[in-house]
Amino acid sequence: MNHARVLRGGARIPARAPAATSRQQARTDATKRKLLVAAEQIFARDGFEAARLEDIAGLAGYTRGAFYANFQSKEDIFFALLERWVGQRISEVAALLAQQESPAKLLRALREHYAQITQDRRLALLSLEFKLFAIRHPEAHARLRARQRRLRASGGDLLRRIARVTDRTLPVSCTAAATGFGALSSALSLEHFVDPSMVSEQEIRRLLVVFFDAVLGSNPAK
């Protein structure tokens, strides 16, 4: 189904033109970004397999020519997207970690962070696509897993810090707890997309709070 070159990918290096053309460089960077943004939409909408490169290029305002000038294949842009995406998410968590707030506030902020996932359809579907791709493409598994791991680690760090400061003991490892929060959020939002009458947004929030408190909350001192 997929050949070994899946793992290749990467940026196209223009032979040997150091910084001669920093103007055109900016231009290609811009179209690359546009293509990535479009890909985000299309992959979330159609899934990796059903997504057509023409749709991606089209949404970005180009044709497939521009696509192949900037990426090597569908997998290539998929990985580039993952890279970008993990970076964004990590910096979000890092921002939370940076602000030296009280543990209680941090906790609320973290809960909000996961609750937000619920709101963003694109986000939820995209992260699902990444996971499914990892499961179904053994050659790419390690690569994808590494990225996801970095992401989870950042969430886990935040939890670890909260746990230490407030002197709590979690029933599972911090990364597992972070994984659990992410899992519940995205899965609930998925259910909501399929059938809002099964779980309202209010109920999603309430379930998240309940889960949060159960994992983190109620054992202030060991």
Partner DNA sequence: CAGCATACATACATGCATGTATATTATTGA
Partner DNA sequence: TCAATAATATACATGCATGTATGTATGCTG
Contacting positions for its own copies (CB under 8 A): 1, 45-47, 49-50, 125, 128, 131-132, 134-136, 144-145, 148-149, 152, 171-173, 175-177, 179-180, 182-184, 186-188, 190-191, 193-195, 197-200, 203, 206-207, 210-211, 213-215
The one of its own copies, DNA, none whose footprint includes residue 57, by CB under 5 to 8 A per kind, is DNA
Asked if residues 201 and 192 have their Cβ atoms less than 8 Å apart, the reply is: yes
Tokens for 220? Answer: 């202030």
The one of its own copies, DNA, none whose footprint includes residue 166, by CB under 5 to 8 A per kind, is none
- Report d(CA 107, CA 112) in Å as an integer: 9
**Quick one: 35 or 97, whose CB is closer to DNA?**
35
User: Is residue 162 a contact point for DNA (CB under 7 A)?
Assistant: no
User: Is residue 65 a contact point for DNA (CB under 7 A)?
Assistant: yes
Long-range contacts from 108-114, C-beta under 8 angstroms, 24+ separation = 110/158, 110/159, 110/162, 110/181, 111/208, 111/209, 111/212, 114/181, 114/182, 114/184, 114/185, 114/208, 114/212
Binding window for DNA (CB under 7 A); candidates: 68-76, 129-137, 138-146, 159-167: 68-76
- Report d(CA 111, CA 204) in Å as an integer: 12
**Quick one: 22 or 99, whose CB is closer to DNA?**
22
